[in-house]
Chains A and B, each alone.
Chain A
Amino acid sequence: MFGLIGHLTSLEYAQSLADRLGYPEYAEQGLDFWCMAPPHILDEIKVRSVTGQVIEGRYVESCFVPEMLAQNRFKAAMRKVLNAMAHAQKHGIDITALGGFTSIIFENFNLEQIRDVRNVSLDFRRFTTGNTHTAYIITQQMELAARDMDMHLQRATILVCGASGDIGSAVCRWIAHYYPNADLILVARNQQRLQEFQQELGMGRVLTLEEGLPLADVIVWVASMPKGLDIDPAVLKNPCLVIDGGYPKNLRTQIQRPGVRVLQGGMVEHALEIDWRIMEWANLTDPGRHLYACFAEAMLLEFEGWYTNFSWGRNQITLEKMAQIGAVSRKHGFQPLLS
């Protein structure tokens, strides 16, 4: 059985959804209450691959909301992630994806140091960040959309914002390997880590976001922050391809300008039969056909019986692993979202 650990995009949305689903006890409460709320299994999922294979899964709502980070409620945020993981393991889930902010919290707060959560000793082999599949999907979105826009990646200026992160570094490695002549711009908040990564990569130049944005033909946005960032669309090139793979995915509404194409990064379109309710809660354009690539990774690992933490730790994603997950992604009916 596979599992998905997720969260809602804001406190306000969490409250309105709790109201809609008939949980008035949760709907009327402010951040303090959500900081104390335990995880819940809110959905039982059945998935049929295009190959005909059927698997089952569970959705674990962590009760985390991004306001916990914005308002420095870090302890609460950490508890949400660890408790949701313990909940998944206690319910016998074999492989669980840490969706949205949960994998970022796990990584940034070094939660791998905390193995024991009450009477559960976490077995990290049962969890995956899903980042390998997300990175693979982003590279495919970039390649296919660029082709569609008559853009040649080999000659393009590609800016990766969040380049030293897990997904960002994987995307950069992929660019360095397949498009070594591209002009790669590396942007990240942590300058020391970024410089080290640039040396390791042997390619790309480090710029600030303000310096880089006006130069880029392609922008891969994989930085995640609790409140998002304002980008002035006027500084962008025409044409420009923007792949919004961070959280929250708000660049699409922010950047509306002719010649600029914004894709929801790290999202897949699929032809699988999935019986669930949770995607209707995720504010997606087509909840029946669209899905987060990180969640899809847990399904792929379950389909293939790869009960292992396929994506784990920072900067461990190799091109081989991206190719490996890419092959089974296509096999079971997932495609990069291009609409």
Chain B
Amino acid sequence: MTAAVTLDYHSDTYRDAYSRINGIVIEGEQAAADNYCKIAELLPEHRDELLALAKMESRHKKGFEACGRNLHVTPDMTFAQKFFQKLRENFQNAFAAGNVVTCLLIQALIIEAFAISAYNIYIPVADPFARKITEGVVKDEYLHLNFGQKWLKEHFAEVKESLKEANRQNLPLVWQMLNEVEQDAATLGMEKAALVEDFLIAYGDALAEIGFSTREVMQMTAMGLAAA
């Protein structure tokens, strides 16, 4: 959908909000690259594919760093690291326990769906330079979502309950994270309701593809949303 307001990409207000959002995107891509390397250790038979995904995420990171430089913005990495801290901890705990299902849910479903929704909502309101870069990135992210989907679908019977539990623990974090950046996102022309809806579509579609029924998808995706 087209932007209803004209954004001044070079104003102080815009660039201030951009410093945090840009930081989050860079940190998110870095976390994704790290996470895929870790998952490759848990799934050695998919090592090559996963390392290729990690490489793609590093490339995305570089693209988004260029977006910041283009607007003369220094990304707020301290904010960004704090932003991802809980989700990162949950991933690291799951990895330490050898829990590949939770690792895949956090990285390949939640973070990917979060990235897809944020990029989709950002593209129509982005500056021309960032738009071009983000359009390329979002195509890749659909492929990444697809990797997690495929693996979890093949093992659906044995991972179903663990996925539900992992969803219960991690999805509410997403709503908290969205609330934290609601104002900054709005400054960039991105509406929270649109972000949530897009996330629910990408995440819900992935859960349905993995094997969950419509009823289960509705229950799982709404987890913690009301409290947010």
A interface vs B, CB < 8 Å? 22-23, 25-26, 28-29, 32-33, 35-42, 75-76, 78-79, 82-83, 87, 90, 114, 118-119
Q: Is the CB of A118 within 8 A of B214?
A: no
Q: Is the CB of A26 within 8 A of B222?
A: yes
Q: Is the CB of A83 within 8 A of B201?
A: yes
Q: Is the CB of A118 within 8 A of B201?
A: yes
> Closest residue to B139 on the A side, CB-wise?
A119
Q: Which of B193, B201, B214 contacts A32 (CB 8 A)?
A: B193
Say if the beta carbon of B179 comes within 8 Å of chain A: no
In B189-228, which residues have CB < 8 Å from any A CB? 191, 193-194, 196-198, 200-202, 204-205, 214-215, 217-219, 221-223, 225-226
The B contact surface, by secondary structure, is helix
Q: Is the CB of A76 within 8 A of B214?
A: no
Instruction: In the A-B complex, list the 6 residue pairs whose CB atoms are closest, starting with the nearest.
Output: A25-B222, A36-B196, A38-B200, A38-B201, A36-B193, A36-B197
Q: Is the CB of A79 within 8 A of B197?
A: yes
Q: How far is the CA of A76 from the CA of B217 in the complex (A)?
A: 21
> Mask for B135-148, Cβ within 8 A of A = 1, else 0?
00011001000000
In the assembled complex, the CB of A21 is this many whole angstroms from the nearest CB of chain B, namely 9
> Closest residue to A119 on the B side, CB-wise?
B142
Seed contacts A32-B193, A36-B196; 15 additional CB < 8 Å A-B pairs: A25-B225, A28-B226, A33-B226, A36-B197, A36-B200, A37-B197, A38-B197, A38-B200, A38-B201, A75-B193, A78-B1, A118-B201, A118-B202, A119-B139, A119-B142
In the assembled complex, the CB of B47 is this many whole angstroms from the nearest CB of chain A, namely 28
Q: Is the CB of A29 within 8 A of B198?
A: no
Give the residues in chain B near A32, CB-CB below 8 Å.
Answer: 193
**Given known A-B contacts A28-B226, A76-B193, A78-B1, A40 and B214 have beta carbons under 8 A apart:** yes
Q: How far is the CA of A28 from the CA of B196 in the complex (A)?
A: 18
Give the residues in chain A near B22, CB-CB below 8 Å.
Answer: none
**Given known A-B contacts A25-B218, A33-B226, A118 and B198 have beta carbons under 8 A apart:** yes
In the assembled complex, the CB of A238 is this many whole angstroms from the nearest CB of chain B, namely 49
CB pairs A–B below 8 angstroms (16 shown): A22-B215, A23-B215, A23-B219, A25-B225, A29-B226, A38-B197, A38-B201, A42-B214, A75-B1, A75-B191, A78-B1, A79-B1, A83-B197, A114-B1, A114-B2, A118-B120
> Closest residue to A40 on the B side, CB-wise?
B214
